[in-house]
Amino acid sequence: MLRRGLGPPANSSLLKGVSAKTPSASQNRRLLLSRWRRRRRRRRPSSSGGKASGLNRKKMAGGRIAHATLKGPSVVKEICIGLTLGLVAGGLWKMHHWNEQRKTRSFYDMLEKGQISVVVEE
C-alpha cells in the first residue's frame, strides 16, 4: 500500500510505546504512519518568539517573485541588430553618393551647354 520513498522512515524510535504483543501488518503500518505524521507536524520554535508562527507555516504571497536574470548575448539578436544598422548606414552612404553624382553631372552638363565657365573673366 505504501509507495516507495513516501512512507515513514524505517526507524526503531517510531515504535516507542508499542506493547510487547506483535500488531498485525495493517495495524503496524497505521501506527507507524500516525507517529510519522505527528513528528512532521511538530512546531519548531520561531525566531520571533511564536508571534508570527502562523505566517511562518504558510507560504507567503511575496515568496516567489520573478527576478530579472542576466543572460549572455543572444547570437540571433546580435545578427539582426548588426544587419539593421549596416543596412541603415549603407543606405545613408548611397544617398550621399547619389547626391554628389547628381551635382557633378549637372555641373558638367551646364559647362557643356555654355551656361557656366571655368575661365575667370577679366
What are 10-52's pLDDT values in tens digits?
Answer: 555 555 555 556 668 778 877 777 777 777 666 565 555 555 5
Please give the DSSP secondary-structure letter assigned to residue 20: S
What are 67-122's pLDDT values in tens digits?
Answer: 777 778 899 999 999 999 999 999 999 999 999 999 999 999 999 999 998 888 87
Residue 78 forms part of a structural domain = yes
On whether both 78 and 119 belong to a single domain, the answer is: yes
Residue 97 forms part of a structural domain = yes
On whether both 81 and 121 belong to a single domain, the answer is: yes
On whether both 79 and 39 belong to a single domain, the answer is: no
How many domains are there within the chain? 2
On whether both 39 and 79 belong to a single domain, the answer is: no
Provide the residue range defining the domain that includes 18. Answer: 14-43
**pTM above 0.75?**
no
Q: Spell out a b/e string for 35-72, using b for 16 or more CB atoms within 10 Å of the CB, else e.
A: beeeeeeeeeeeeeeeeeeeeeeeeeeeeeeeeeeeee
On whether both 79 and 37 belong to a single domain, the answer is: no
Residue 21 forms part of a structural domain = yes
